[in-house]
A and B are shown apart, each in its own frame.
Chain A
Amino acid sequence: MSPGRSVGIEAAERRLARRLVAPALGVILLIALFPLGWTVWESLHLHDLRMPWRGEPFVGLANYVEMAGDPRFWAAMGHTFFFTAVTVALELVLGLFLALAMNRAFRGRGLVRAAVLVPWAIPTVVSALLWRFLFDAEAGIANAVLLDVGLIEEPIVWFVHTATAWVPVILADVWKTTPFVALLLLAGLQNIDSALYEAAAVDGAGPWWQLRHITLPQLKPAILVVLIFRTLDAFRVFDLIYVLTGGGPGTATEPISLYAFNALLQNLRFGYGSALSVAVFLTTFLIALLYIRGLGVDLGGTAE
């Protein structure tokens, strides 16, 4: 077969490939890039539904300038980063414990694995209402338990103080999402070659050494996947806080998505709300990029 002919076939194959991929690309363009582009376009305009007579003039970066000088925006960003850092850290540690426990062979393991998923299967709004009720100042079980144990003398009105309002928010997220993290890590654990542990045991390595030098390094890809999923999810937190605290007291627990939602659907400021949405997108994109670069290096083969 002559080289020219082979090139011809390859080119034809490539053309075919392009044609086959085209519909999928088109769909992605339509459902992902089009709304994104639209939002960016909106964010460069003054678009206020309450005042249609002002039209939708192009205002350049005015919405972004306003955002940069908006203390509520920066506060919301701060709350979002705080929520993300705390919940992702807790979920990773607890999820790892759960995964290690579930990875051992014991009777009823399948049942435990299924049961662990229950919080994850409950819709967020439902679980948020559940936690709201648990932390109700009067009828809530949280106060009842703390009073019984003697840790507090007066019932705490959880949703009125900044510090205590975060407690149910973070607990609810950790409760709901740790099972998901655990399952992802469990899958990672099961991919580790058991020969490594056998060899280590022969060499007299204890469980702690095995965890640090075999399990964790081997689990790194899975951990990175968990981190990227959870960070992006946590950063866009909306429904949980919308139901639990509504962003209060004041705006002390308001995440950036909730602020953007308010600007859009409550105050009908589509231009400014879109700018806030673009800020959420850019930040999550940046986070994803940072993680993927980290992940990419590992996949390139520098990991042991």
Chain B
Amino acid sequence: MRASRAAAAALLLLPLACGGADDRPVITLPGSAVGAEAELLRRQIDRFTKEHPGIRVELQRTPDDATQRHQLYVQRLNARSDDPDILQLDVIWTPEFAAAGWLLPLDRFDADTTAFFRPTVEANVWDDTLYAIPWFVDVGMLYWRTDLLDAPPETMEALVEAARRGKRPAEAVTRGIVWQGARYEGLVTVFLEYLGGFGGEILADDGTVVVDSPEAVEALSFMRDQIHRWDVAPEQVLTWHEEETRFAFQNGTAVMMRNWPYAYALMSGEDSRVAGRFAVAPMPAAPGGEPTVALGGSQLAISAHSDAPEHAWALLEFLTAPEQMLERAVVAGQFPTRPALFDDPALDEVLAIPAERAREIIERATARPVTPIYTQLSEILQIQLHRALVGQAEPADALETAAEGMRRAIEETGVRDLRRREGAR
């Protein structure tokens, strides 16, 4: 097997070897291949190679869909491929990849982690070791139409009321609120926000599963009733991801939308029907809960199989430097992971919300459980959430099944949520 693999590799490398002109070390970096973000990345890489003429950087196209990117990484890393050198990780993957031994510990590079938001750093620490640097941070937000509502709703009741009142069927505003309800990771983040809004949690501070609490049942019932009882959310949301909800809101068919910051810049463009007619607010909360935003975002890590870790670190450091982060915020609307940047007046102009407010929101953002078995826990939860929302099960039964499954997984694998600590919620 190994010999044949080597032979195949030799065949593949033959053209390169014959070319022979460029023998600089190559750093491969997977990233989005389309749109403003890809262009931004290419520009930043150009600047980097000007500063470091001895390194060649190769941008690899990878799927934008997180699940597919996860599968791609798993296949490459498990095969010990030295390619890609740098990994772009979803905020929930770091412990899983670190525990599997696929990431290079970053402690040796002496990164200054105090310069980053604490929740974003905590998500990247496994077994007291830093494995990734937060690249940009995402927080869930409530987008609302300023021409249809006077103010954003602050309570759950007000949310339903606003969704109902804001509809204008004659003007094709037929949807009160839209969110990501397909069976995928996005559904967990939406649920997390309603859950916090009602005062519940997925895992308690000691790591035990409490997703079957009365508050959780209330939160899930509230989501289901938006669709089936109050008719303020369309049934289609149960098949929708981020982009479908953005299309609905951007085309002016919805009063409110739950989405990430990226949508703000896109919906302010000329081809948007709601440009200048929307604003963002935190998600509402019920008595006993508090406005909750799910923490998302991207991290950069170095593959343990990288053959040029020092060069990879140079690129990683460059991409997460203040200058590049600020540019990313301006071009793609993605929030920097360095709190200091929020004092920059340039940032204030480009963000969806006042920078000071954004900083507060990120500091309080709710992280998803930090554990190597997160993907499995999330899958168990996604399935049961979806079953309850499509009407295959009652919320209480679905959450009980989910909690049992999660407890069993935690027990079987013996992995608890090790990184949870006070103040992280």
Contacts and interface: CB of A to CB of B under 8 A. Distances in A.
Contact of B239 (A49, A50, A51, A160): A160
B75 interface: yes
B392 A262 contact: no
B114 interface: no
B71 A265 contact: yes
B34 to A, nearest CB: 17
Interface stretch (A90-98, A180-188, A218-226, A242-250): A242-250
A252 B71 contact: no
Contacts, number: 79
B99 A50 contact: yes
B155 to A, nearest CB: 28
Interface string B172-199: 0000000000111000000000000000
Interface string A221-264: 00000000000000000000000001111111000000000100
Nearest to B385: A250
Contacts of B75: 265
Interface in B338-382: 372-373, 375-376, 379
B390 A267 contact: no
A241 B110 CA distance: 47
Contact of A252 (B184, B238, B376, B392): B392
Interface string B390-425: 101100000000000000000001110000000000
11 contacts: A50-B96, A51-B415, A137-B235, A157-B239, A159-B238, A250-B183, A250-B392, A266-B376, A266-B379, A267-B375, A267-B379
Nearest to A254: B383
Given A265-B75, A266-B70, A266-B375, 20 more contacts: A49-B78, A51-B372, A52-B99, A52-B101, A137-B235, A137-B236, A138-B236, A160-B235, A160-B239, A160-B390, A161-B390, A249-B183, A250-B384, A250-B392, A250-B393, A265-B71, A267-B375, A268-B74, A268-B375, A269-B376
B422 to A, nearest CB: 26
B7 interface: no
A268 to B, nearest CB: 7
A268 B392 contact: no
Contact of B100 (A52, A262, A269): A52
A264 to B, nearest CB: 9
Q: What are the 5 closest A-B residue pairs judged by CB atoms, nearest first?
A: A250-B387, A249-B390, A50-B372, A267-B376, A157-B235
A190 interface: no
A250 B386 contact: yes
Interface string A150-185: 000000010111100000000000000000000000
A137 B244 CA distance: 12
Contacts of B413: 48, 50-51
Most A Cβ at <10 Å: residue of B78, B387, B390: B390
B67 interface: yes
Interface residues of B, number: 32
Given A51-B372, A250-B390, A268 B238 contact: no
Given A246-B183, A249-B183, A267-B379, A157 B236 contact: yes
Interface string A46-84: 001111100000000000000000000000000000000
Contact of A162 (B96, B100, B376, B392): B392
Contacts of B70: 266
B370 to A, nearest CB: 13
A136 to B, nearest CB: 9
Contacts of A159: 238-239
B400 to A, nearest CB: 14
Contacts of B386: 248-250
Contacts of B71: 265-266
Contact of A248 (B183, B373, B376): B183
A252 B236 CA distance: 17
Contacts of A161: 390
A274 to B, nearest CB: 14
Nearest to B101: A52
Nearest to B392: A250
Contacts of A267: 373, 375-376, 379
B103 to A, nearest CB: 12
Interface in B308-363: none
A95 B239 CA distance: 33
A178 to B, nearest CB: 27
B249 to A, nearest CB: 14
A105 to B, nearest CB: 48
A157 B379 contact: no
B106 to A, nearest CB: 19
A191 B413 CA distance: 60
A280 to B, nearest CB: 19
Contacts of B415: 50-51
A123 to B, nearest CB: 17
B387 A262 contact: no
Contacts of B74: 49, 265, 268
Contacts of B383: 250-251
Contacts of A157: 235-236, 238-239
A160 B238 CA distance: 7
A159 B236 CA distance: 9
Nearest to B388: A250
A247 to B, nearest CB: 8
B238 A51 contact: no
A5 B99 CA distance: 69
Interface string B6-30: 0000000000000000000000000
A159 B101 CA distance: 38
A267 B373 CA distance: 8
A20 to B, nearest CB: 23
A249 B238 contact: yes
A267 B383 CA distance: 14
Interface string A123-161: 000000000000001100000000000000000010111
Given A157-B238, A262-B379, A49 B100 contact: yes
B392 A266 contact: no
A161 to B, nearest CB: 7
